[in-house]
């Protein structure tokens, strides 16, 4: 039956971890992982998550199905975390939100819904480069995927002119994917002033924003600051959609906690959209898992635990920022002739190092340092223990 099935290519990122595992060198370094690690290189379960989980166990809740759109306490809190409680989308009852299978599931619900109901074409523009899965998610949803300029390899920074140029010249009313903060894979975000310019151009060209916010709180350590772009667009009266993930900021990766929301024009429109989102979700997975959503709402719904969680997110963000400084310092101390300022100016979990695919290969085969061939370093894999050897290895392949 399956004789004609062809071998598909392995996933680029997961392949790195596979190769890392088979390396027997004791001081090997894995910079491919997209998950936070503590300074001992270990996975980190947030103490606020442990506390919430304990409380849930003590409540001995039943395991009944959630509704199609998930756990209501969770979606309500997820909406205020992203948009803020004062957001006019919420106070005017124009925000439709559904729980999703983490950020990927939110993107997919969005893709499916827009492929059916977006009235002005099926093309979505994504930044170049973007998270490797965006293209596949949107194409499988029935959208056509094109890109706009985002990152300038020469300056290792945002190509703001190219970006604004592209957004003003793509067909009117196209859909545009925006990383709300901590752009993956480059770690390069627009400044608040640049976001304002982006909003202005998008307004002029009547473009439709699709925000992907997978790292709220993780970028700057401040969840409100990281939501600046999203909130600014809502203030500017954009109708828009948002995919949210709690994988990174709560460390709930495998629990698959996320939400997809739409800012609609009126409460009445919201109701109709709600009915169609349910029609998208029901045949996909019927209804979402409850445990992770309960953890997240236990945290966000308790003032003290919420404050504790925000402190822990800041702790993770701060460790990453400290590792950026250490890595740059070490490279400069070694006398590297290159500029490494981008390591500290970039934000979030990833650093787009500017290393070539050949240099990445050298790192892997000569130094047992593993990262994707686009030169993306997961800063979560850097620790006070391995940063010196990492800097020496990078120095060795770049000088």
**By CB under 6 A, residue 214 contacts ligand PMP:** yes
Alpha-carbon distance of 38 to 35, in angstroms, equals 10
**By CB under 6 A, residue 209 contacts ligand PMP:** no
User: What sign does the CA torsion over 70, 100, 209, 380 have?
Assistant: positive
In the residue annotation, 4 being an active-site residue is answered as: no
**By CB under 6 A, residue 258 contacts ligand PMP:** yes
* Footprint of ligand PMP on 126-155 (CB under 6 A): 131
In the residue annotation, 385 being an active-site residue is answered as: no
The angle at the Cα of 281, spanning 275 to 284, to the nearest 5 degrees, equals: 150
**By CB under 6 A, residue 184 contacts ligand PMP:** yes
131, 195, 309, 340: the active-site residue: 131
Cβ closest to ligand PMP, residue 134 vs residue 328: 134
Cβ closest to ligand PMP, residue 221 vs residue 292: 292
Residue 376 backbone zone (phi > 0: left; psi -120 to 50: alpha; other: beta): beta
Alpha-carbon distance of 316 to 338, in angstroms, equals 28
Query: Mask 43-82, x = binds ligand PMP (CB under 6 A)?
Result: ----------------------------------------
Nearest approach, Cβ of 143 to ligand PMP (angstroms)?
16
> Is 272 within 8 Å of 265 (Cβ atoms)?
no
Query: Mask 95-124, x = binds ligand PMP (CB under 6 A)?
Result: -------xxx--------------------
Torsion of CA 188, 189, 194, 199, to 10 degrees: 130
The angle at the Cα of 109, spanning 143 to 213, to the nearest 5 degrees, equals: 95
159, 212, 226, 362: the active-site residue: 212
Residues near ligand PMP (CB under 6 A), total:
12
> Which letter does DSSP use for residue 252 in this model?
-
Alpha-carbon distance of 231 to 224, in angstroms, equals 9
**By CB under 6 A, residue 245 contacts ligand PMP:** yes
Which spans of this chain sit near ligand PMP (rule: CB under 6 A)?
34, 102-104, 131, 179, 184, 212, 214, 245, 247, 258
By annotation, the residues acting in catalysis are: 131, 212, 248
């Amino acid at each position: 039956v399956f004789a004609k099935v062809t071998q598909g290519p392995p996933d680029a990122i997961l392949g790195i971890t596979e190769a890392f595992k088979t390396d027997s060198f004791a001081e090997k370094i894995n910079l491919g992982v997209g998950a936070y690690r503590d300074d001992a290189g270990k996975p980190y379960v947030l103490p606020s998550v442990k506390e919430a989980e304990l409380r849930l166990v003590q409540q001995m809740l039943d395991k009944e199905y959630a509704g199609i759109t998930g756990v209501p306490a969770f979606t309500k809190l997820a909406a205020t975390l992203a948009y803020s409680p004062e957001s006019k989308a919420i106070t005017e009852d124009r925000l439709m939100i559904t729980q999703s299978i983490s950020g990927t599931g939110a993107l997919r619900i969005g893709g499916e819904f827009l492929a059916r109901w977006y009235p002005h074409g099926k093309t979505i523009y994504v930044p170049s480069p973007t998270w490797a899965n965006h293209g596949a998610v949107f194409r499988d949803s029935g959208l056509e995927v094109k890109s706009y300029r985002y990152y300038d390899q020469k300056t290792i920074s945002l190509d703001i002119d190219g970006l604004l140029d592209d957004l003003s010249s793509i067909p009117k009313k196209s859909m545009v994917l925006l990383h709300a903060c901590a752009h993956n894979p480059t770690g390069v975000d627009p400044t608040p002033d640049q976001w304002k310019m982006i909003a202005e151009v998008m307004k002029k060209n009547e473009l439709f924003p699709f925000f992907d916010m997978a790292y709220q709180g993780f970028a700057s350590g401040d969840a409100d600051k990281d939501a600046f772009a999203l909130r600014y667009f809502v203030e500017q009266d954009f109708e828009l959609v948002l995919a949210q993930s709690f994988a990174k900021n709560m460390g709930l990766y495998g629990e698959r906690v996320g939400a997809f929301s739409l800012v609609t024009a009126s409460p009445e429109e919201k109701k109709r959209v709600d009915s169609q989102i349910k029609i998208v979700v029901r045949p996909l997975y019927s209804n979402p898992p409850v445990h992770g959503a309960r953890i997240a709402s236990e945290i966000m719904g308790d003032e003290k635990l919420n404050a504790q969680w925000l402190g822990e997110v800041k702790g993770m963000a701060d460790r990453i920022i400290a590792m950026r400084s250490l890595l740059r310092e070490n490279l400069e101390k070694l006398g590297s002739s290159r500029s490494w300022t981008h390591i500290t100016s970039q934000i979030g979990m990833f650093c787009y190092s500017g290393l070539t695919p050949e240099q990445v290969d050298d790192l892997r085969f000569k130094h047992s340092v593993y990262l994707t061939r686009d030169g993306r370093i997961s800063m979560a894999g850097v620790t006070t223990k391995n940063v010196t050897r990492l800097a020496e290895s990078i120095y060795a392949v770049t000088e």
